[in-house]
């Protein structure tokens, strides 16, 4: 897959009907293909300047049939997305049109692009590094504004620059070690304590960057929030309130919700799958029994449990059962129906819930009036992020990057140990080389073809 000598083509817009649809062609034959397919005025596309748009007609040269009128966008190498000659046909967005135009491009010598191959070429041609290429995919996949922002900053190179800076730090330490090997007469023997302190500082910075990955992953991949509690406390009402949509059936009858109801929401920019469940209780109704079993299973799979209690009714055995089911995981407790509770009684209920919540935050809320919903969302976001809101400029959102950073930190720690024992300097450089390689995998300098292949395989076709 890692070759660049042929010309690739793909439909770059999603399947189905749309205002426009784009067929993209990149490679040495791109301009020649445009010449064959596209007619506009007297000048052939291959004679147009780079970054030109032309209105014209797409024709099947074999039959002379007119296929569509379209815009041609033309970018010459190296100033294009892929770094190669690129043409894009902006057609009317219908599947038959786009299939036909793509077919013509293939007939004229292009090959169907593999997933992510345009971006792969951008990477191989040095238009972006590996972390930036991965961010392209994250941008496309972003479901919330926060995820979009993180992906954009990574594509713009914020993470790459931080990784590059850390690599330079390691290179600097390595240069000091190597100088002591090669020029011990001039620079003197290695200052082991100073080197050890220097390596420890660098490792601290690598670890700090790795530590942002927890939050980064939450923003990128989202979390599952299971809403649990005994019947009738207002779980479905809270789901609807969080979604701002009447999604689940709400009635005064306990046992209304039988099956799981799962819906996507965005809470403080975090993509959330909110799961409403059947009220947990002992029951003889076989349908409800299955519902309760599903509620427990949903809880098992959830990242955060939203345990709902009633702000008016006191603590019951049913609450204890629901709380026990949620024990041991990230949880937020909501005292719902606060609009029905007297102020003093509410304070007592909050205190009682705090006693039993085992450290989980307790929020008084009303699904009916929306009071307290803001604080509930705040608490859910904090629970999802394990309390750590990313403040750093560079945030790691990718498991692969986090794993590489952990290996870099481990190598640095080895180097520290070697230094501490005042072992021969070449042994230290071996560990430092390991740290450099691990950091280089993030931006791609030291990534294997297999790693690169795996990354682009997950892209969509045409990207």
Site of interaction with ligand GTP (CB under 6 A):
229, 231-237, 250-252, 254-257, 278-279, 336-337, 339-340, 366-368
Contact 18, 93 (CB under 8 A): yes
- We find the least distance from the C-beta atom of residue 316 to ligand GTP, in angstroms, to be 13
Nearest distance in Å: CB 338, ligand GTP: 7
368's contact among Mg ion, ligand GTP, none, with CB below 5 to 8 A by partner kind, is ligand GTP
Burial class (CB in 10 A: 0-12, 13-18, 19+), 332: buried
Q: Is 58 helix (H, G, I), strand (E, B) or coil?
A: strand
User: CA triplet 115, 118, 120: central angle to 5 degrees?
Assistant: 80
Contacts with 7 (C-beta within 8 Å, 6 or more apart), sequence order: 25, 26, 27, 28, 29, 30, 33, 109, 110, 111
Count CB atoms within 10 A of the CB of residue 197: 13
**Minimum CB–partner distance for residue 25 and ligand GTP (Å):** 54
Of Mg ion, ligand GTP, none, which one does residue 234 interact with (CB within 5 to 8 Å by kind)? ligand GTP
Give 303 or 319: the residue with its C-beta nearer to ligand GTP. 319
Q: Which one, 29 or 337, has the nearer CB to ligand GTP?
A: 337
- Minimum Å gap between C-beta 263 and ligand GTP is 14
**Half-sphere exposure of residue 20: CA atoms within 13 angstroms, side-chain side:** 12
Contact of 139 with 119, CB cutoff 8 Å: no
Cβ closer to ligand GTP: 102 or 261? 261
The residue among 86 and 376 lying less far from ligand GTP, judged by its C-beta, is 376
Count the neighbouring beta carbons within 10 Å of the beta carbon of residue 408.
29
Annotate 252-306 with DSSP letters as a single string. Answer: SSTT---S-EEEEEEETTEEEEEEE-PPP---S-HHHHHHHHHHHHHHHH-SEEE
Q: In the complex, what is the shortest distance from the CB of residue 143 to ligand GTP, in angstroms, rounded to a whole number?
A: 26
Q: Which residue carries 């290179």 as its tokens?
A: 171
- In whole angstroms, the minimum distance from the beta carbon of 236 to Mg ion comes to 3
Beta carbon nearer to Mg ion, 195 or 239? 239
The CA-atom distances, in angstroms, between 341 and each of 195, 306, 311, 347, 350 are 64, 20, 6, 9, 11
**Cα 364 to Cα 348: distance, rounded to the nearest angstrom:** 12
Element (H, E) at 309: strand 304-310
90 binds, among ligand GTP, Mg ion, none (CB under 5 to 8 A by kind): none
Closest separation in Å from C-beta 241 to Mg ion: 13
Q: Is 336 in the site for Mg ion (CB under 5 A)?
A: no
Q: Indicate which of ligand GTP, Mg ion, none lies near residue 255 (CB less than 5 to 8 Å, by partner kind).
A: ligand GTP
Of the two residues 138 and 276, which places its CB atom closer to ligand GTP in the complex?
A: 276
Check residue 277 for interaction with Mg ion (CB under 5 A). no
CB of 281 to Mg ion, least distance (A): 12
Question: Which among ligand GTP, Mg ion, none contacts residue 198 (Cβ within 5 to 8 A by kind)?
Answer: none
Q: Could you say which residues in the range 200-259 bind Mg ion, by CB under 5 A?
A: 235-236, 256-257
Closest CA to 41 of 20, 28, 22, 56: 56
Residue 367 DSSP class: T
Q: Which residue is nearest to ligand GTP (CB)?
A: 279
Return phi, psi of residue 318, to 5°.
-65, -40
User: Please, which residue, 132 or 336, has the CB nearer to ligand GTP?
Assistant: 336
Q: CB under 5 to 8 A by kind: which of ligand GTP, Mg ion, none does 339 bind?
A: ligand GTP
When the beta carbons of 13 and 366 are compared against Mg ion, the nearer one is 366
DSSP output for 417-437: HHHHTT--HHHHHHHHHHHHH
432 binds, among ligand GTP, Mg ion, none (CB under 5 to 8 A by kind): none
Binds 27, which of ligand GTP, Mg ion, none (CB < 5 to 8 A, cut-off by type)? none
As measured in angstroms, the least distance from the Cβ of 274 to Mg ion is 13
Query: Which residue lies nearer to Mg ion by CB, 325 or 438?
Result: 325
Please classify residue 392 by burial: count the beta carbons closer than 10 Å to its beta carbon, then call 0-12 exposed, 13-18 middle and 19+ buried: middle
Chain residues that interact with Mg ion, rule: CB under 5 A: 235-236, 256-257
């Amino acid at each position: 897959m890692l070759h660049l000598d042929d010309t690739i083509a793909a439909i770059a817009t999603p399947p189905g009907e749309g205002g426009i649809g784009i067929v993209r062609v990149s490679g040495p034959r791109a301009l020649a293909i445009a010449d064959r397919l596209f007619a506009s005025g007297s000048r052939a596309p291959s004679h147009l300047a780079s970054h030109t748009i032309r209105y014209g007609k797409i024709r099947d040269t074999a039959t002379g049939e007119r296929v569509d009128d379209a815009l041609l966008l033309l970018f010459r190498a190296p100033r294009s997305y892929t770094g190669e000659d690129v043409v894009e046909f902006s057609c009317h967005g219908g599947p038959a049109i786009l299939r036909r135009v793509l077919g013509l491009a293939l007939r004229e010598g292009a090959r169907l692009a593999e997933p992510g191959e345009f971006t792969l070429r951008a990477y191989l041609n040095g238009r972006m590094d590996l972390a930036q290429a991965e961010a392209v995919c994250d941008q496309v996949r972003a479901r919330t504004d926060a995820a979009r922002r993180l992906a954009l900053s990574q594509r713009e190179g914020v993470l790459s620059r931080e990784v590059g800076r850390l690599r330079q730090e390691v290179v600097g330490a390595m240069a000091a070690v190597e100088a002591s090997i090669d020029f011990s007469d001039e620079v003197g023997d290695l200052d082991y304590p100073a080197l050890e302190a220097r390596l420890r500082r660098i490792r601290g910075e690598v670890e700090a960057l790795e530590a942002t990955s927890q939050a980064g992953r939450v923003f990128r991949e989202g979390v599952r929030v299971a809403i649990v509690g005994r019947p009738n406390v207002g779980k479905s009402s809270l789901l609807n309130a969080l979604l701002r949509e009447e999604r689940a059936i709400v009635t005064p009858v306990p046992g209304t919700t039988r099956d799981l109801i799962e819906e996507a929401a965005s809470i403080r920019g975090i993509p959330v799958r909110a799961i409403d469940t059947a009220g947990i209780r002992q029951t003889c109704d076989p349908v409800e029994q299955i519902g309760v079993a599903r509620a427990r299973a949903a809880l098992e799979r959830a990242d955060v449990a939203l345990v709902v209690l009633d702000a008016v009714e006191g603590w019951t055995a049913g609450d204890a059962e629901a709380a026990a089911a949620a024990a041991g995981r990230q949880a937020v407790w909501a005292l719902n129906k606060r609009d029905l509770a007297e102020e003093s009684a509410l304070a007592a209920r909050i205190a009682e819930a705090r006693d039993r919540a085992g450290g989980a935050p307790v929020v008084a809320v009303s699904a009916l009036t929306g009071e307290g919903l803001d604080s509930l969302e705040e608490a859910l976001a904090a629970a999802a992020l394990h309390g750590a809101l990313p403040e750093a400029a560079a945030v790691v959102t990718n498991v692969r990057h986090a794993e590489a950073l952990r290996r870099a930190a481990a190598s640095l720690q080895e180097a520290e140990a070697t230094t501490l024992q005042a072992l021969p300097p070449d042994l230290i450089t071996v560990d430092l080389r390991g740290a450099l390689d691990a950091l280089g995998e993030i931006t791609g300098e030291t990534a294997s073809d297999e790693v690169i292949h795996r990354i682009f395989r997950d892209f969509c076709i045409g990207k």
